[in-house]
Amino acid sequence: MRRDIVHPGAGHLKYEIRQIVGFARSLSRWNVDIAWENIGDPVKKGESLPGWMKEIVRDAVTDDATYAYTDTEGSRETREFLAARANDRGGCRIGPDDIMFFNGLGDAVAKVFGFLKREARVLGPSPAYSTLSSAEAAHSGYEHLTYRLDPEHGWLPDMADVEMKVRYNDSVAGILLINPNNPTGAVYPECIIREFVRIAKTYRLFLVCDETYASIVYGGANTVALSGAIGEVPGLSLRSVSKEFPWPGARCGWIEAYNKDKDPVFAAYVRSLLDAKRLEVCSTSLPQIVIPRIMGDGRYPAHLARRAAMFGSRADEAAAAFEGIPGVKLVKPEGAFYASAVFSGGLPAEGRLPVSDPSLAAYIEEQVAGLAPDKRFAYWLLASTGICVVPLTGFVSDLPGFRFTLLETDDERRRWIFGSLAEACRTYLASV
Ligand SMILES: Cc1ncc(COP(=O)(O)O)c(C=O)c1O
């Protein structure tokens, strides 16, 4: 090529959650039956949407309006509905014009980071959901800047680390938090959210809070939405129907922008997100249009409560399976539907798991050469059990470990998955 056409951030576009799939599929030659524990799709894992929700969607399909474009920001009626709901949470008040729809939060994240000034960095958690960290890294062309989530303290953010990184790096213009968290399952208490707000206020930053899992909190955890704690600090909340209805295939998420009126630079930035969306006309209409009908239905609160309780009891099962394994730390999740196990004492460089077929074992030996220790574990785990997890180092983290889900709907299979994961940890650590 006459010119280099590759974006300087291209090398940062990593999504380990799906990258491991290619390797898992290569095991089909040995007829390995894969348990897909890598992807957070409740429907793929066997959850069915309640019949009443499907009826609402079915009715909407007969309505011509669902075949038309919406406003670029999204359906006005839905934005009014969501603004009222946000205001019911208390705290910072918003109107329909503070809400903007996207084709899933994946699309929103691409815009949030893609339209930030290149030199303006957003400090994010480690470990972190890869879409966010990769988008930030790709936008800047550098490694994602991170603060530490601490497995020894319930995966809470190390707030001293946050403040230190903000204080000594004036390119940091914003801080990202994910609450409830993917991949750790942690839920931040109000004091932590308030501490983020204090730091943002002190250093004149904006906050981005991914609240995809806001309605999946259990085990007695308490938290507060960003809007409830943000005061006058500029901020964005990212929300979606993907995990909550759950309807990930709808590709429907939205941003709530707080305190646009408090800072002209922030207001101009939010406007640029809308201008960028305008080039695409709008997001998919049908899922937006059914939001008020579904979320406003009298059965919705019970639906959310039932799911939260369901994930709460699965979190108990996972924690029980991992209890007392020397060298392995699993913090019981209190939100979302993931758990992350950390090999707190590290992993043996030459660890392996039993694989009965010698040709498969030889293939794995060849494939794991030079891999990060937890990726090596994940590959052996796949060959030995068929369970596909995501290595924790795939989530911008240097902690060796892996993330799995609480999504398996078949009770027996789920217990087998948790038990097999725990057993594999023991065996692998003892294998050398
Ligand atoms: C924390 C977090 N944010 C955003 C997303 C993306 O959601 P969407 O389906 O709306 O693109 C996910 C999906 O797993 C997620 O875990």
303-353 confidence digits (pLDDT tens)? 999 999 999 999 999 999 999 999 999 999 999 999 999 999 999 989 999
Structure-block tokens of residue 361: 């074992």
State residue 203's pLDDT score.
Answer: 98
State residue 34's pLDDT score.
Answer: 94
Give the CB-side neighbour count of residue 383, counting CA atoms within 13 A.
26
Q: Is the pLDDT of residue 221 over 70?
A: yes
Range 250-268 average pLDDT: 97
**Torsion angle in degrees (nearest 10) through CA of 178, 390, 346, 363:** -170
Indicate if the alpha-carbon torsion angle 358, 363, 368, 370 is positive or negative: positive
Question: Is residue 40 lining ligand 1, measured as CB closer than 6 Å?
Answer: yes
Among the CATH numbers 2.40.30.10, 3.40.640.10, 3.40.50.300, 3.40.50.720, which is that of 51-295?
3.40.640.10
Give residue 15's pLDDT band: very low, low, confident or very high (50, 70, 90).
low
Question: Is residue 104 lining ligand 1, measured as CB closer than 6 Å?
Answer: yes
State residue 17's pLDDT score.
Answer: 67
Going by DSSP bridges, is the β-strand pair 146-150/121-126 parallel, antiparallel, or unpaired?
parallel
Give residue 1's pLDDT band: very low, low, confident or very high (50, 70, 90).
confident
Same fold flag, 10-47+305-429 and 51-295: no
- Show Cβ contacts of residue 78 under 8 Å, excluding neighbours closer than 6 positions: 101, 288, 289, 291, 292
Question: Is residue 351 lining ligand 1, measured as CB closer than 6 Å?
Answer: no
Question: pLDDT (tens digit, 9 = 90+) per residue, 392-408?
Answer: 999 999 999 999 999 99
Question: pLDDT (tens digit, 9 = 90+) per residue, 188-199?
Answer: 999 999 999 999
3-state class (DSSP) for residue 157: strand
Structure-block tokens of residue 311: 């994930």
Give residue 300's pLDDT band: very low, low, confident or very high (50, 70, 90).
very high
388 strand-pairing partners: 36
Query: Which residue's CA is the nearest one to ligand 1's atom 4?
Result: 105
Give residue 13's pLDDT band: very low, low, confident or very high (50, 70, 90).
low
Query: Which residue's CA is the nearest one to ligand 1's atom 14?
Result: 40
Question: Is residue 211 lining ligand 1, measured as CB closer than 6 Å?
Answer: no
Question: pLDDT (tens digit, 9 = 90+) per residue, 96-155?
Answer: 999 999 999 989 999 999 999 999 999 999 999 988 988 888 888 888 899 999 999 999
Which is more confidently placed, 270 or 21? 270
Length of the chain, in residues: 432
- How many angstroms separate the CA atoms of 101 and 91, rounded? 22
Ligand 1 center–CA 127 separation, angstroms: 15
Q: Quick one: what percent of the chain has pLDDT higher than 70? A: 97
Q: Which fold has domain 10-47+305-429?
A: Aspartate Aminotransferase, domain 1 (3.90.1150)
Ligand 1 center–CA 106 separation, angstroms: 6
State residue 35's pLDDT score.
Answer: 95
Query: Which residue's CA is the nearest one to ligand 1's atom 7?
Result: 105
Ligand 1 center–CA 35 separation, angstroms: 21
Could you tell which of 129, 130, 390 is best to mutate to test the pocket of ligand 1, judged by most ligand atoms within 8 Å of the CB? 129
Could you tell which of 134, 149, 182 is best to mutate to test the pocket of ligand 1, judged by most ligand atoms within 8 Å of the CB? 182
Question: Is residue 106 lining ligand 1, measured as CB closer than 6 Å?
Answer: yes
Q: What H or E segment, with its residue span, contains residue 174?
A: strand 172-178
- How many angstroms separate the CA atoms of 93 and 261, rounded? 12
- Domain ranges for the chain: 10-47+305-429, 51-295
Question: pLDDT (tens digit, 9 = 90+) per residue, 49-78?
Answer: 999 999 999 999 999 999 999 999 999 999
State residue 9's pLDDT score.
Answer: 67
Give residue 19's pLDDT band: very low, low, confident or very high (50, 70, 90).
confident
Range 232-249 average pLDDT: 98
What's the mean pLDDT when you consider all of the chain?
95
State residue 180's pLDDT score.
Answer: 98
State residue 3's pLDDT score.
Answer: 76
Query: Which residue's CA is the nearest one to ligand 1's atom 13?
Result: 40
Q: At what angle do helices 285-295 and 51-61 cross, to 10 degrees?
A: 130
Q: What is the DSSP string of 110-139?
A: HHHHHTS-TT-EEEEEES--HHHHHHHHHH
Q: Is the pLDDT of residue 279 over 70?
A: yes
Query: Which residue's CA is the nearest one to ligand 1's atom 5?
Result: 105
The closest alpha carbon to 107, from 336, 308, 317, 276, belongs to 276
Query: Which residue's CA is the nearest one to ligand 1's atom 16?
Result: 182
State residue 142's pLDDT score.
Answer: 84
| pTM for the model | 0.95
DSSP letter assigned to residue 35: E
Range 357-374 average pLDDT: 93
Ligand 1 center–CA 355 separation, angstroms: 34
